[in-house]
Chain A
């Protein structure tokens, strides 16, 4: 016995201009797409990429050293300066080294706590609390945390004060302080993608692995870590990029150390030599862009 259907096929009410616009748009997906993309692309391409282009064109110019005005004759002089000076290679290597160290430290610190929050903790409240607890310091302010680290590492500062009863001294301001401070600052950016990745990891995989007799360590190495690669890479994009571009922290806790971004900043701010700064800026930009292109395949970019 069929029911009298109350659902009749009617043509859409034809009144109203919004209807005709809807109909018009419905048939033209490309127009909808263009409408959606126009404003953002205008912003990103014209404002952002355009600005980057202007800056990088300047890398091929020079400045009149007396007046500071730009001399718009194309030349490779800036790149020669950077390539020929030994100090630039040293600083570049040092910066990349610090970035790698920071990334590794953060990975080592992030995984246990993210795992705890994602997999081990039962209560949702505690899980929220843990994630908030890790994210909160982000809002304490970069500079404030930087100066807190200075208080900790400086001569007779907090670390020295804590180690004094054991007769030890802290590392003081310098390379170690910079590395640890940067690792401290960027830790939340590593924890969050790793946490998200772990949350998506089905519990059943872990159970299956232990059912098959793997120990916790083995499970971790063969099951969890490979699946975490996109998240770890996503986190590493931040730690790497933030470290390569940092010039403030190293001035606060670095003692006499300098990093690559100081060269950029010193030349644009201090020497008023925008061309050399722009040329120097090409280094971290190239490294990061190449890294981003290379890790696309791991799917890390979706996990940002």
Chain B
């Protein structure tokens, strides 16, 4: 449909304003990463690339990055498996408790992170520690996977609802068994939704700080934890800006891929998160 020139202009200006509002603080981060002053003093009096150099060579940044990648991968994998299982169950079957199950899946992401974090911390202390499993990467992955499930669930569910069962039924009418149908018909149809969900789950876990704080242990430091710990040390501030700017640029590609693989922007938008 066509819109009047005036409407286009007004909307355009508002959109531009909102985008400016969104990106201005990020610009501040970028500028500060070159700021010589260590305490984010504004306006910057002089510039340096020292912080970028330090960020690239800093051992703790690298190990934090690796830890985050490991945790995010683990969480995404678990989320893929569990999320798609529930999505299939809810989409293809009618059963008693179907609504509560969908409700339950949403809870970990709808409830505040601090609640999830404290709850998991209490139960890990009560159950895992006496068994000898101490807090560490394992518990972090457990925590992250819990709220990542819903992201995959939403994506796969939406896709399953859209594709419907007719193709699967046709396949089985033609003689394929359930496994073969799944492999050749169902899976290809949901594959891109799975990938989109997994990418989102990965990103969610990567940036998460609150639940991580409560489920992590000594010697484990994810990238957000590293940022958190170093923000308290006045001398490390600008390196964080450099790391953040780098991450921002690095994430453009995965997000774009997630969008291409799914059915376009509306699929990527099945998201939910906590800081």
Contacts and interface: CB of A to CB of B under 8 A. Distances in A.
B60 to A, nearest CB: 16
A48 B107 contact: yes
Interface in B96-135: 99, 101-116, 118-120, 122-123, 126
Given A128-B259, A157-B42, A244-B112, A268 B149 contact: no
B114 A247 contact: yes
Given A48-B146, A184-B25, A278 B118 contact: yes
B216 interface: no
Interface residues on B, range: 35 or more
A304 interface: yes
Contacts, number: 296
B192 interface: no
Given A41-B101, A48-B108, A207-B1, A138 B207 contact: yes
Contacts of A139: 203, 206-207, 247-248, 251, 255
A55 B102 CA distance: 23
Contacts of B11: 112, 115-116, 120
Contacts of B40: 147, 150-151
A189 B272 contact: yes
Contact of B112 (A115, A147, A193, A245): A245
B168 to A, nearest CB: 12
A10 B89 contact: no
A237 interface: yes
Contacts of B26: 137, 140, 145, 148
Contacts of A117: 15, 265
B167 interface: no
Contacts of B178: 22, 25-26, 32
Interface residues on A, range: 35 or more
B119 A52 contact: yes
A227 interface: no
Interface string B169-182: 00000010111100
A124 B260 CA distance: 11
Chain A facing B: main interface SS: helix
Contacts of A83: none
A205 to B, nearest CB: 9
Contacts of A277: 118
22 contacts: A10-B175, A12-B177, A21-B179, A23-B177, A29-B93, A36-B93, A39-B82, A48-B119, A55-B118, A120-B3, A120-B11, A131-B268, A136-B251, A136-B252, A137-B26, A138-B203, A138-B207, A139-B206, A187-B22, A238-B272, A245-B114, A288-B110
Interface of B: 1, 3-4, 7-8, 11-12, 14-15, 18-19, 21-23, 25-26, 28-29, 32, 40, 42-43, 81-83, 85-86, 88-89, 93, 95, 99, 101-116, 118-120, 122-123, 126, 142, 145-146, 149-150, 154, 175, 177-180, 203, 206-207, 209-210, 224, 227-228, 231, 237, 240-241, 244, 247-248, 251-252, 255-256, 259, 264-266, 268-275
